[in-house]
Structure 1
């Protein structure tokens, strides 16, 4: 990363970048680090979501929409995973998208019919 050493805590290409800090640390620095890591990735590998945490606070950013999705606070990673999966299901299967004439990307009817 621009001749500086740094490590991404977790990168799931095209899906999620995680930057973790010690408990109680300021997540502003984590956001700066994550942004640098994001910029250093190949465009085809850049993830949609960015998760910042200090093991007490979790902040999820949808980088496509530049929207922070931190309405919920999670105590455990299992809670976070459950909430993220529920949000993704709602976003992809139920929530209307303007670009798709107010239809969801994967309508529930397709999922129920198995097509």
Structure 2
């Protein structure tokens, strides 16, 4: 689940208003500036995640920021993780492994990445 969140997180970016001058990676960003933080790109930073565009279930995802960080960490992250774990456990228990996945259709939105549809044919256990 954590690698999925890092690799293809549903949230993509968040706008911020800079409240004081700050130096960021050698550049001074003046107070009053508007920034668009693209955390989905940060989850693909090769300085943090070796071979970032490879889906690797054995990867250390402890530095992934799919749910934000610090004061801006998502309050619903624990619930989202719990709901996802329960859904996956129930699916594995209820569905045979020989399933077919059709062509997905993505949602077209600047900040939300997800599927409008993911046609799937399953067989119950």
Q: TM-score scaled by structure 2?
A: 0.27
The structure that has the greater radius of gyration is 2
Which structure's relative contact order is higher, taking Cα pairs within 8 Å and 6+ residues apart?
2
Q: Which has the higher helix share?
A: 1
